[in-house]
Structure 1
Amino acid sequence: MPARTLVALALTLVAGAAVGGSAATPASAVDSARFDDPQPNAYFPLVPGTVSRYRGHEDGERFRERVVVTHRTKVIQGVTTTVVRDVVRRADGSVDERTHDWYAADDAGNVWYFGERTATYDEHGDVESREGSWRAGVDGAVAGMVMPADPRPTAAYRQEYLRGEAEDQAWIVQRHVSTRVPHGRVHDAVRSLEWSRLEKDVVSEKVYGPGLGIVRERDLSGGDEVFTLVSVSRP
């Protein structure tokens, strides 16, 4: 399906979510009993010690990103989550954004997102904003699904929810994708469209590779951000 058609469909779904009450508010929190025997997810691996490096650009500025699946855990709503550290640096090496994300796979292999602690920085190293930070169970925030165990078109799901702060959603649009990134050729990938009710004009495409996670992301509408996977080192 052409990108323009996908964007149009995604914007239609966003409009529906903005109007429909059922899409705007999650039904309930996750059940911690579903995380007693977590199973791995091929498209969102959480192997401690894995380091993924990306490069990208936005608004004419170049960035480098380093994502580390740490050995640290954090218990949220009775679920032991894995702490993933994500640092984005400008071309001069200064930190643009630093985030700690909290993920957990359930017994079926679905990966859930339990929140993030994030901060953006100015060129002097001072914190500009902590907007977007949230944790499931606090102030009405609810965990969301970041990757289903068996992602298939046309699965759609909420990735995070804190009203007015974190409302990302995703839609699986294609399987068995082949793509080339600086890391190399990736086969049998999954492609999704992702958006937020808080930024209705922005639609992003993400491609997830088996055993790799995100290998490419780019804005299709409302922005020009692009990031691609450069390398992966495993423990």
Structure 2
Amino acid sequence: MRTRVPAAIAALALAGGVLAGCGSASAPSPPAGVDGLVIPTPDPDPADFVAAVDNPWFPLAPGARWEYAHAATGQPALVLTVEPGPEVAGVATTALVRTHADGTVERDLYAQDRDGNVWWFGREGEWQAGSVGAEAGLAMPARPRFGDGFRTATAPGLVEVATVRAVGEPVTVPLSTYQRTVELVVEKGVEGAAGMRVDVYARGVGLVRTDEAGLVAYDEAR
């Protein structure tokens, strides 16, 4: 994964080093939000990634299970489960298995870098990073920040972009009310068609609402 240091941060670091010699300045803060990341990343380095996906906004522990239902009807909408995934572009991934109410199953592949950012490496049977021009996009920053925008996927015929629309807004779903949340607006373009959805993540739980479907059951990994 390529990283870059914005000029302002580099300048601050330099200034901090000079002033530190005088004993009057603190160390510069690390980049926040998506600062310093190249998104999508064209050449992920396996050494930059860790085995587990434990970002508190997007935790993927094998064995965990989330169940969602439509708010208006109460009918089942979606079930998520977590399994070990294959290696993609030299990086070990974790598979998030999405089972829709109509029986459609999708296996999305994710990996987390050493800074805690979660990257989307592909969807089995559709695209994988490093193949046919596809590149890993960002699924969830380590430190989501209001207003941040980033590509979640880039592949032939597919471009998906997410924007952080809210941080810390209370959200109520059938299972509970969550105070510590991140809301993403996701715009998707595929083969000339466009679409949009709103996803809400709760700290320590993960996805609690996607459009009008809310979380009704959550089983942590055992």
Task: Give your verdict on TM over 0.5.
Answer: yes
Tell me the residue number matched to 2:23: none
State the shift of 1:53 in Å.
0.4
Tell me the residue number matched to 1:233: 219
Q: Secondary structure at the match of 2:47?
A: helix
Residues 40, 136 of structure 2: 8 Å contact kept = no
Q: Distance in 2 between matches of 1:102 and 1:57?
A: 28
Tell me the residue number matched to 2:66: 52
State the shift of 1:203 in Å.
2.6
Structure 2: stretches of 5+ with no match in the other structure: 1-38
State the shift of 1:117 in Å.
2.2
Tell me the residue number matched to 2:88: 76
Q: How does 1:61-140 map to 2 (within 5 A)?
A: 62-70=75-83, 72-90=84-102, 95=103, 97-117=104-124, 133-140=126-133
Q: Secondary structure at the match of 1:197?
A: strand
Tell me the residue number matched to 1:185: 177
1:169 and 2:164 matched? no
Structure 1: stretches of 5+ with no match in the other structure: 1-24, 119-132, 219-225
State the shift of 1:36 in Å.
4.3
Residues 162, 186 of structure 2: 8 Å contact kept = yes
Q: Indicate how the Cα distance of structure 1 residues 81 and 37 shifts in structure 2: closer, same or farther if over 3 A, else same.
A: closer
Residues 53, 61 of structure 2: 8 Å contact kept = no
Report the TM-score, using the length of structure 1 for normalisation. Answer: 0.70
Q: Distance in 2 between matches of 1:149 and 1:160?
A: 17
Q: Indicate how the Cα distance of structure 1 residues 80 and 182 shifts in structure 2: closer, same or farther if over 3 A, else same.
A: same
Residues 54, 66 of structure 1: 8 Å contact kept = yes
Residues 52, 66 of structure 1: 8 Å contact kept = yes
State the shift of 1:30 in Å.
2.2
Q: Distance in 2 between matches of 1:46 and 1:52?
A: 11
Tell me the residue number matched to 2:55: 41
Q: Indicate how the Cα distance of structure 1 residues 162 and 173 shifts in structure 2: closer, same or farther if over 3 A, else same.
A: same
State the shift of 1:106 in Å.
0.7
Report the TM-score, using the length of structure 2 for normalisation. Answer: 0.74
Tell me the residue number matched to 2:9: none
Q: Indicate how the Cα distance of structure 1 residues 52 and 78 shifts in structure 2: closer, same or farther if over 3 A, else same.
A: same
Q: Secondary structure at the match of 2:43?
A: coil
Q: Distance in 2 between matches of 1:88 and 1:33?
A: 34
In the comparison of the two structures, how many residue pairs are matched?
A: 182
Residues 38, 108 of structure 1: 8 Å contact kept = no
Whichever structure has more strand as a proportion of its residues is: 1
State the shift of 1:135 in Å.
0.8
CA deviations 1:58-114 (Å, max 9, x no partner) are: 9x9x543111012x2311111110122111124xxxx1x111111111100000000
Q: Distance in 1 between matches of 2:159 and 2:176?
A: 32
Q: Distance in 2 between matches of 1:86 and 1:105?
A: 19
Aligned partner letter, 1:169: V
The more displaced of 140-149 and 208-217 is: 208-217
